[in-house]
Chains A and B, each alone.
Chain A
């Protein structure tokens, strides 16, 4: 389906990443946002609070992030598209409810504008230290999707993509921005509404008496209904059967939790997205995501100018991770270089799939700034030597 033209600011706008995220949510049809302000994500909700009254949306500044992350799920059961926005400390508080959204298959979007951590850390400065938390932060096992934009344009585009993926797979989707991308201002092209493709909510349309809230379709994703439509529904974070009723048995757990994982894992080929550049024939492949995918470019270009064969693989979707592609490349290249603004998170995933077939070099950074491209260049240079 196409986007509702109401609220879509078609045109070229000079916009920061946070505001672009807000516009992306509006274009995606999001009409409920709950949040608790936290630097560097506050501008997202400021813009939402400013814009929503004009287009019939509802923004609530909640008492905290715990409340925000559950309010959006209530809104989804009430039939809205919903999002919450935060940064590191708030993201930590939201973890339990990310698990609830995964367990009860609530299509919604969590935005984390990453800053330096741990704890309160560096509120106004960038970090990429929440990447493993995005995958594993809530207790128990579940599948998740996380996207990494590197520009205000992508903050707009990927917010829409996040909503679409959440609807398609009935899963919470995490938009992993960072302070640099959030506070950077660039040209953002907002297309006309009829050129914005949205994945419609998968409402049940079968016979009412046969409806089961958690009975999956062939792609392992169950259709949904909303409260007030006359279906007797029960939603619980307890392990439940297809009807949604608590079923705390080993077989029920196996059936449900395996499906929560498999609906992402077995659909990974459709979800995984990355951009490659000069990867074929490369001696070294630089694996990047988010702002680091831009910061690495001068380093890669300098190395190439000196005759080194360097490829660039940039994750657009960080979770699920492009396991197959990394495995394939592992037997073709000498080394992978992974710059990230943390002391080694996604690099662990690269190492896991390379499985010793090539060297894997982290270019770590504690946060508070992006890398100096020279530091990335030096590691590339040493890796090419072998």
Chain B
């Protein structure tokens, strides 16, 4: 697999950075790929439109920043407006259905959306919406091996919440598999 650049956007507190961390950890620790994560640092990590960037590659990663992200996962309107223009031609856009209105959506993009907040609420904790998003993104993009993602989720969430988070991941993953099937 060549270099895949992923950007995750949302507002501070949504677990944007944890999401990037999980992808990178899954790829480089629980799979055999290389991964570099760079997170938004500064005031935006604590409230407004915040982002994390992950590069996943079969080869060593030299330049550590994104040059043209092929995958973007967006969990807030502000992040959608601010970051989507950076998405590469023909890239994959993944949005939270109820938090993001995809007006003026670029025609070249492949777009997937999921009511992740609603699913998270059904599981009993709105907080796990980012993990639902991770499951969904894994299914529709195949960017990282799903088993490696599950291991990374389990290893990265607070103790005692592993099962809840795994359910969240699986919920998103299953929905993603169905959504992807609709396209074929």
Q: Of residues 138 to 175 in B, which have CB atoms within 8 Å of A's CB atoms?
A: none
Query: Does A373 interact with chain B (Cβ within 8 Å)?
Result: yes
Contact B63 A187 (CB under 8 A): no
With A12-B29, A14-B24, A14-B28 as known contacts, state yes or no: A184 contacts B63, CB within 8 Å: no
Q: Which of A40, A185, A186, A294 has the most CB of B within 10 A?
A: A185
Question: Which of B28, B42, B62 is A297 in contact with, Cβ under 8 Å?
Answer: B62
Could you mark each residue 29-64 of chain B with 1 if its beta carbon is under 8 Å from any beta carbon of chain A, else 0?
100001111110110000000000000000001111
Which residues of chain B are within 8 angstroms of A183 by Cβ–Cβ distance? 38-39, 41
CB distance from A300 to the nearest CB of B (A): 9
Which residues of chain A are within 8 angstroms of B34 by Cβ–Cβ distance? 186-187
With A40-B41, A124-B42, A373-B63 as known contacts, state yes or no: A14 contacts B36, CB within 8 Å: no
Query: Does A13 interact with chain B (Cβ within 8 Å)?
Result: yes
Query: Does A180 interact with chain B (Cβ within 8 Å)?
Result: yes
CA distance A77 to B35 in the complex (A): 42
Question: Which of A12, A14, A184, A187 is B64 in contact with, Cβ under 8 Å?
Answer: A184
CA distance A237 to B40 in the complex (A): 43
Contact B38 A294 (CB under 8 A): no
Which residues of chain B are within 8 angstroms of A40 by Cβ–Cβ distance? 41
Which residues of chain A are within 8 angstroms of B65 by Cβ–Cβ distance? 370
Which residues of chain A are within 8 angstroms of B21 by Cβ–Cβ distance? 14, 185
CB distance from B151 to the nearest CB of A (A): 12
Q: Which of B24, B42, B61, B64 has the most CB of A within 10 A?
A: B64
Residues of B in contact with A, size category: 10 to 19
Contact B64 A291 (CB under 8 A): yes
Cross-chain pair count, CB within 8 angstroms = 54
CA distance A187 to B64 in the complex (A): 13
Question: Which of B24, B35, B63 is A294 in contact with, Cβ under 8 Å?
Answer: B63
Question: Which of A14, A179, A295, A298 is B25 in contact with, Cβ under 8 Å?
Answer: A14
Which residues of chain A are within 8 angstroms of B25 by Cβ–Cβ distance? 14
Which residues of chain B are within 8 angstroms of A370 by Cβ–Cβ distance? 64-65
Which residues of chain B are within 8 angstroms of A124 by Cβ–Cβ distance? 41-42
Which residues of chain A are within 8 angstroms of B62 by Cβ–Cβ distance? 294-295, 297-298
CA distance A12 to B34 in the complex (A): 12
Contact B29 A187 (CB under 8 A): yes
Q: Of residues 98 to 135 in A, which have CB atoms within 8 Å of B's CB atoms?
A: 124
With A14-B21, A294-B62, A297-B63 as known contacts, state yes or no: A186 contacts B41, CB within 8 Å: no
CB distance from A178 to the nearest CB of B (A): 11
Task: Select from chain A the residue with minimum beta-carbon distance to B42.
Answer: A124
Q: Of residues 43 to 97 in B, which have CB atoms within 8 Å of A's CB atoms?
A: 61-65
Task: Select from chain A the residue with minimum beta-carbon distance to B45.
Answer: A124
With A295-B63, A298-B62 as known contacts, state yes or no: A184 contacts B41, CB within 8 Å: no
Question: Which of B29, B41, B42 is A14 in contact with, Cβ under 8 Å?
Answer: B29
CB distance from A154 to the nearest CB of B (A): 13
Contact B29 A13 (CB under 8 A): yes
Task: Select from chain A the residue with minimum beta-carbon distance to B20.
Answer: A185
CA distance A253 to B21 in the complex (A): 54
CB distance from B108 to the nearest CB of A (A): 24
CA distance A297 to B61 in the complex (A): 10
Which residues of chain A are within 8 angstroms of B24 by Cβ–Cβ distance? 14, 185-186
Task: Select from chain B the residue with minimum beta-carbon distance to A181.
Answer: B64
Which residues of chain B are within 8 angstroms of A295 by Cβ–Cβ distance? 62-64
With A13-B29, A291-B64 as known contacts, state yes or no: A187 contacts B39, CB within 8 Å: no
Which residues of chain B are within 8 angstroms of A291 by Cβ–Cβ distance? 64
CA distance A14 to B31 in the complex (A): 12
Q: Of residues 6 to 40 in B, which have CB atoms within 8 Å of A's CB atoms?
A: 21, 24-25, 28-29, 34-39
Give chain A's interface residues, CB within 8 Å of chain B. Answer: 12-14, 40, 124, 179-180, 183-187, 291, 294-295, 297-298, 370, 373
Known: A14-B37, A186-B35. 11 other contacts (CB 8 A): A14-B35, A124-B41, A184-B37, A184-B64, A185-B21, A185-B37, A185-B39, A186-B36, A187-B29, A297-B63, A373-B63
Give chain B's interface residues, CB within 8 Å of chain A. Answer: 21, 24-25, 28-29, 34-39, 41-42, 61-65
**Could you show 6 A-B contacts with beta carbons less than 8 Å apart?**
A12-B28, A14-B21, A184-B36, A186-B36, A187-B29, A291-B64
User: Lowest 10 CB-CB distances: which A-B pairs, in order?
Assistant: A297-B62, A14-B25, A187-B28, A185-B37, A124-B42, A294-B62, A124-B41, A298-B63, A12-B29, A186-B36
